[in-house]
Amino acid sequence: MTLVLGCIADDYTGASDLANTLTKAGLRTVQTIGVPGEGLDLPATDAVVVSLKSRSIPAAQAVARSREAESWLRARGAGHVMFKVCSTFDSTDAGNIGPVTDALREEAGARIALVTPAFPETGRTVYQGHLFVGAVPLHESPLKDHPLNPMRDSNLVRVLARQSRAGVGLVDLATVARGAQAVRARLDALAREGKGAAIADAVFDPDLAVLGEAILTDPVSTGASGLGLGLAQALVASGRVRAAPAGTALGDPVGGPAACLAGSCSQATLGQVAAAEAVMPVRRLDPERLLAGPQEAEEALAWAAERIGAGPVLIASSQSPEAVTALQARHGRDAAGHAIEAALAGIAAGLVARGVRRLVVAGGETSGAVVDTLGLTAFRVGPEIAPGVPVLATVAGDMRLALKSGNFGGRDFFADALALMP
Ligand SMILES: Nc1ncnc2c1ncn2[C@@H]1O[C@H](COP(=O)(O)OP(=O)(O)O)[C@@H](O)[C@H]1O
Ligand SMILES: O=C(O)[C@@H](O)C(=O)COP(=O)(O)O
């Protein structure tokens, strides 16, 4: 296996988002969970997205795991390694986008790393270094209330500088509009000034094609799915990859019971959970009871077991920002988050033990906990359910999953996903 592109994603839903984008652009892509072990037999592939659960862990650990993933990817021929971060730049001032970008750049001996979370297809655009989510700046978007990393500053040059050892510059839209050569010249100039990273503006997909072309021969970059799109297009345009037909068939339906789990408290997920109530039984967990002991999760599992024979069910811990804040004030942010993730992962294991083979999970950290608990190792990428969310098939072919980033998907996402997961 010789890779043309290596990717390291800081969460599992982000990884499937990127794998979806690369697949749609014609790259045969596999998503692995963690760095693959010796025994894992991967299909022929152009790109591998190694999924880490490194977004909300201490920076030193995120750096160590990302370095390990980078070595694995480089050993398989990846000339360019992209670090996939969230399109809403989810991180705290204590890390991890800056430290990982610094480490990958230094490891590769690169002069500077281009960084952009732009993903216009989902409304994430960057102008003058400021990130917009739809029509509003990041700090006015629902991300200001994220349970783990509230985003209160839209100026990414400033945000990244607070996390980075080297200085951070800007490749502005006017430069991007002048093409790949102008972007390269700007990166060279910033590197000469001693900058280690540069936030790049991008508003439309053609801007990302320019960025992809500009950095294809660089060893590292950091970005969201949009940058993956630009890199994939540049690889196809350069002739290094012959575009595969998108939407590779996943094989026979797996059938059997289906279930959905939501641990995301993002605005989009809250709407989707409400909409699901019209089409399937929905169990809303009591987070306070979840934290108190195993009883709440056990009761939810028993509730699901009675119903999954008749059709899909949804179990959700999702609550409003006010309720999340109140719970965190009583238990601490990380303790509450991790305990709820663990409870949902335990419910997922119980559902699988009861025959569920089609599973939809909403929430990045939540998906990480679920996939780890189920011990899944790698996925092939199937049809797109919504921008940024594909159907996944385990490489063994025995399960179908959808791992939804909190903010992605339309109101009917859960029903839409199940319809594409026979
Ligand atoms: N009711 C709740 N109160 C507080 N935190 C919650 C609640 N429900 C879920 N959480 C936690 O909120 C976090 C949501 O993060 P994540 O799963 O990544 O979703 P998203 O994709 O929306 O960011 C997780 O740590 C989850 O356990
Ligand atoms: O880039 C994105 O927006 C997503 O791929 C992503 O990473 C979102 O994070 P979660 O909402 O935590 O899944």
Distance CA 233, CA 220 (A): 17
- Give yes or no for residue 302 having a pLDDT over 70: yes
Is the overall model pTM greater than 0.90, yes or no?
yes
What's the CA-to-centroid distance between 373 and ligand 1, angstroms? 17
Q: Which of 297, 285, 273 is nearest to 323 (CA)?
A: 285
What's the CA-to-centroid distance between 54 and ligand 1, angstroms? 15
Please give the tally of structural domains in the chain: 2
What's the CA-to-centroid distance between 55 and ligand 1, angstroms? 13
pLDDT of residue 248: 61
Pocket test for ligand 2, best of 12, 57, 87, 266 (most atoms within 8 A of CB): 87
Give the ligand with the smallest distance to the CA of 337.
1
pLDDT of residue 252: 85
112 found inside a domain = yes
252 found inside a domain = no
pLDDT in tens, 29-88: 999 999 998 777 778 899 999 999 999 899 999 999 999 999 999 999 999 999 999 999
Residue whose token pair is 């189920």: 374
pLDDT of residue 301: 98
State whether 24 and 52 are in the same domain: yes
pLDDT of residue 396: 86
What's the CA-to-centroid distance between 3 and ligand 2, angstroms? 24
State whether 337 and 376 are in the same domain: yes
State whether 62 and 169 are in the same domain: yes
- Give yes or no for residue 246 having a pLDDT over 70: no
State whether 166 and 280 are in the same domain: no
Q: Which of 230, 233, 182, 185 is nearest to 203 (CA)?
A: 230
- Atom of ligand 2 at shortest range from CA of 90: 9
Check which CATH number belongs to the domain holding 33 and give it: 3.40.50.10840
For residue 262, list its beta bridge partners: 316, 362
State whether 63 and 205 are in the same domain: yes
State whether 327 and 200 are in the same domain: no
249 found inside a domain = no
State whether 208 and 275 are in the same domain: no
pLDDT in tens, 320-340: 999 999 999 999 988 999 999
370 found inside a domain = yes
State whether 156 and 203 are in the same domain: yes
State whether 414 and 296 are in the same domain: yes
pLDDT in tens, 342-401: 999 999 999 999 999 999 999 999 999 999 999 999 999 999 999 999 999 998 889 999
85 found inside a domain = yes
Choosing from 210, 238, 266, the residue where a domain stops is: 238
**CA quadruple 349, 290, 13, 59: dihedral positive or negative?**
negative
49 found inside a domain = yes
- Atom of ligand 2 at shortest range from CA of 404: 13
Pocket test for ligand 2, best of 124, 370, 405 (most atoms within 8 A of CB): 405
Residue whose token pair is 């009761």: 299
Which residues constitute the domain of residue 302? 258-419
What's the CA-to-centroid distance between 338 and ligand 1, angstroms? 9
Asked if 132 contacts 124 with a C-beta cutoff of 8 angstroms, the reply is: yes
3-state secondary structure the chain: CCCCEEEEECCHHHHHHHHHHHHHCCCCEEEEECCCCCCCCCCCCCEEEEECCCCCCCHHHHHHHHHHHHHHHHHCCCCEEEEECCCCCCCECCECHHHHHHHHHHHHCCCCEEEECCEHHHCEEEECCEEEECCEEHHHCHHHHCCCCCCCCCEHHHHHHHHCCCEEEEECHHHHHCCHHHHHHHHHHHHHCCEEEEEECECCHHHHHHHHHHHCCCCEEEECHHHHHHHHHHHHHCCCCCCCCCCCCCCCCCCCCEEEEECCCCHHHHHHHHHHCCCCCEEECCHHHHHHCCHHHHHHHHHHHHHCCCCCEEEECCCCHHHHHHHHHHHCHHHHHHHHHHHHHHHHHHHHHCCCCEEEEECHHHHHHHHHHHCCCEEEEEEEEECCEEEEEECCCCCEEEEECCCCCCCCHHHHHHHCCC
User: What is the ipTM metric for this complex?
Assistant: 0.97
22 found inside a domain = yes
Residues with CB under 6 A from ligand 1: 147-148, 263-266, 269, 287, 317-319, 323-324, 327, 336-337, 340-341, 363-366, 405-406
